[in-house]
Every structure is written in structure tokens, then in C-alpha cells.
Amino acid sequence: MSEVLAPGLTRLADGPLAFGGVGLEELAEAYGTPLVAFDGALFDGRVAAFRTAFGPQTDISYAAKAFLCVAMARRVAALGLSLDVCSLGELRTAQAADFPPERLRYHGCGKGDDELEAALRGGVGRIIIDNLEELERLESIAAHLERTATVILRVNTGIEAHTHEMIRTAGENSKFGMLPEVAFAAARRVAASPHMRIAGLHSHIGSQIYEPRFLADAVEPLFELAASLSGVEIAVAEMIAGGGFAVRYRPEDPPAPAPEAIAQRLLAAMRLGAERAGVPLPRLGIEPGRALAAEAGLSLYRVMSVKDHATCRFAIVDGSMADNPRPALYGSYHHVVRADGPSTAVARATTICGRSCEADEMMTVPLPEDLHGGDLLAVCTTGAYTYSMASNYNRFAKPAVVLAADGAHTLWVRRERDSETLRFDVDT
């Protein structure tokens, strides 16, 4: 069988696969399956690549929604990144990690008063405002707390990213952000308030974007707005161009754009935009999640059974759409390889299915003919939006997350106990 290895996967001297230098069987035996393994060095490498490409003037903020736990927040803090959070849970996680509050950015298109208050009390560096009503609530909470809120206005630039419609976040019919004329009014409101200060403008057009030019296109309307604001003496010091940078999920897909290619486009669009608008060059911010975390993660599953039905061969694994809903939600593909040594068996198209009470077929991949119950499978590129989107469907407990790096492993998040799936039930 010709072998395609995913990022971070290597072969141990005697044949079996390793991730972060640790044998996959060793990880599965130590922590059980399903398991999410995270290779810290891969994550750090991606951060370094973005840093080098964008240079020290760009603020890189990791989008916590891709994957966050306390240990991860500590890692992000140590790397000197900023951190985007969008819920009280993500904020509390960052706070538990002693994440420097001035490097936190609070996102979300439906922030409650409790969240705005927690962000202000917690000294969160930037609050990204989605709509006028939210802005009004923030102003009165800031006034009540006698604090000054530093805000960035999220603009719906109308630029549609060519990506799956479920992960598109701009376009004239997208719910996110404010249309430019509304953002203009919002900026004036901020400028007039003693309790708020405007830091800049924000746009995020979607996720898994293969074409950097779409990201660059989205900067143009921000500069048009910056020019109008400059006309009323409002300066835009920061411009966040969002995240959304693609990663490769299928080995046969073209490589995702390199950080240098994205940086070149975006930095050029920034220079040109500022020049045309006649405004000083704002500081660029980017907020990647997937591009930093996806390839750094891998999920391990045991095969429960293999069956041949009509024209399909199914492998049922001990995970499900509860621990990885991406295939069910977006038809996403994750490459799958068997964890043992190189196989001489012929590869056959095999549909990986979860064990939930649904037709939760995940993806069809070539796997050796002799695949059987008990084999260990590695599902690749699951570092982003997999553990973070896990649910307790069927009352399955959530998997553990382990750091594998330099041949050693450390537990980051312990496996949920079956008994804990009852923890919110009230004994009536």
C-alpha cells in the first residue's frame, strides 16, 4: 500500500506510527480511546511561521474557539500571542491560565450583559463590537463600573469568502458585524462617549479560505470606512483582518497557502489601502485558529468491527459525531491511517463510522484489506474545531486530550467519566 503520512506523523524504528515522537499505541494504552493528541512543537512551529511571515508589527491573536484548555491558554500566553475568546467559558479558561488580560479580545455576536461586565472587570484588552445595541449596553455597563472600554468595530464588508456556506461569516446576508454605514454611526457614538475608546476596525469573512486575495479584498472596505472616519477626526489605529486561513485536510489537495503568501497579500493591501484612504497605516491584526491548531492535533480511535455490506465496507470506531461532528456538519474530510507498521495488504475503500445511533458515516478512506476490530486508527488534522465542538450526544463522555511532544506525553484534559454525563441532572 502506498503510504501517505499526515503532518506530525512519523514512523518509529520498528514500523508503527508516532505523533510528537510518541508511539500511537503507547498513547492509546496510556489514556484510552477516543483520544485527542496535540503535538506542541507543531503548534509552535505554525506560530513561528506566521510570526516570521507577518513580522513584529502584526498582532497575532489565536482564536480560542479552534481549541482551548487551560494548558493551551498557558502555551499561547508563553508564545506571546494574543487570544480571542467569545464566551464566558473561554474567558474563564484564559483567566485560569493567568493569561495577560490586556492581550485578550472578546468576540461574539450575542454578548450578554454578564459577558460585557466580566470583560470589563477582567481588564480584557479589546471588546469587538458586533452591533449597535451591544455598543449601547457596553456603554452603560462601562459607565456603571466607571471603566473605559476599548472597542473594535466588526464590519460586515460584504465580501463573500469562497468556502463552505456554514463557515462563511461575511456577505450582505450574513448575520455578523455591522454594515459600513452602521459601523460609521457606531464609531461616532464611541468617540462621543467618555466611557469608550475606539481602537479600530475588524473583519472576518469566513473559515478555511484557500485564496488569500479574498482576505486582502476585505481590507479595502475597511479603509473606505477609515477614510470617512478620518473626515470626522476619528482615527483607526488597528485593523483586524480576521482568521480563516485554510489547512490541507486531504493529502491529494493542493497545499494550503503558506503564511508568507498570505502575509504578502495582506500587508500589500494594508499599505495600498492606507495610501488610497490617506490615513496613517494602522497596525494589522490577524486571528487564526485552524491554521495554527488543526495540523497539531490528531484523534485516535479503536476499530470496534469491520463489516462488508453490499458495495461498502464499514469500520465502526469507538468514537462518533459526538467527539468529531465536523464530517456530519460540513461533510468534512479527515485523513485516516492505521497506526501499526507498513502494511503489505491491499488498500480498500473503507467508510469510517461512529458508534452513535445515526448513520454517522465520517469519511471513506483507503485502509488495508486486513483491517479488523482492535486496530488503532489515527484520524488526522483534528487539532481545530474537533474537541472544541464535541458534545455529549448519546450521553457519550468526552475524550481526553494529551500533549505529545519530544517523545514524552502529558495529560492536558482528562477523559470525562461516564458518571459525569449525569452531572446536571436534578434528583427530583
Instruction: Tell me which residues touch ligand LLP (CB under 6 A).
Output: 63, 65-66, 84, 107, 167, 169, 204, 207-208, 242-245, 287-291, 326, 330, 384-385, 389
401 beta partners: 36, 413
330's grid cell = 460540513
**Cα separation, 2 vs 74, whole angstroms:** 39
Tell me the catalytic residues.
357
Give whichever of 175 and 414 is closer to ligand LLP, judged by the CB atom: 175
Q: Minimum distance from CB of 325 to ligand LLP (Å)? A: 8
Q: Minimum distance from CB of 29 to ligand LLP (Å)? A: 29
Q: Minimum distance from CB of 384 to ligand LLP (Å)? A: 6
End-to-end CA distance of the chain: 57
Q: Minimum distance from CB of 109 to ligand LLP (Å)? A: 9
Instruction: Return the sign of the alpha-carbon dihedral for residues 413, 414, 418, 420.
Output: negative
Give whichever of 290 and 355 is closer to ligand LLP, judged by the CB atom: 290
**Cα separation, 413 vs 34, whole angstroms:** 13
Q: Minimum distance from CB of 329 to ligand LLP (Å)? A: 7
Give whichever of 293 and 303 is closer to ligand LLP, judged by the CB atom: 293
Q: Minimum distance from CB of 237 to ligand LLP (Å)? A: 19
Contact (Cβ atoms closer than 8 angstroms) between residue 81 and residue 59: no
Return the HEC string of the chain: CCCCCCCCEEECCCCCEEECCEEHHHHHHHHCCCEEEECHHHHHHHHHHHHHHHCCCCEEEEEHHHCCCHHHHHHHHHCCCEEEECCHHHHHHHHHCCCCHHHEEECCCCCCHHHHHHHHHCCCCEEEECCHHHHHHHHHHHHHHCCCEEEEEEECCCCCCCCCHHHECCCCCCCCCECHHHHHHHHHHHHHCCCEEEEEEECCCECCECCHHHHHHHHHHHHHHHHHHHHCCCCCCEEECCCCECCCCCCCCCCCCCHHHHHHHHHHHHHHHHHHHCCCCCEEEECCCHHHHHHHEEEEEEEEEEEEECCEEEEEECCCCCCCCHHHHHCCCCCEEECCCCCCCCEEEEEEECCCCCCCEEEEEEEECCCCCCCEEEEECCCCCCHHHCCCHHHCCCCEEEEEECCEEEEEECCCCHHHHHCCCCCC
Q: Minimum distance from CB of 78 to ligand LLP (Å)? A: 21
Give whichever of 31 and 176 is closer to ligand LLP, judged by the CB atom: 176
Q: Minimum distance from CB of 62 to ligand LLP (Å)? A: 9
Q: Minimum distance from CB of 226 to ligand LLP (Å)? A: 19
Q: What's the burial of 262, exposed, middle or buried (CB within 10 Å: 0-12/13-18/19+)? A: buried
Give whichever of 174 and 208 is closer to ligand LLP, judged by the CB atom: 208
Sole residue written with cell 510518541: 22
Give whichever of 314 and 393 is closer to ligand LLP, judged by the CB atom: 393
- Within 13 A of 49's CA, how many CA atoms are on the CB side? 16
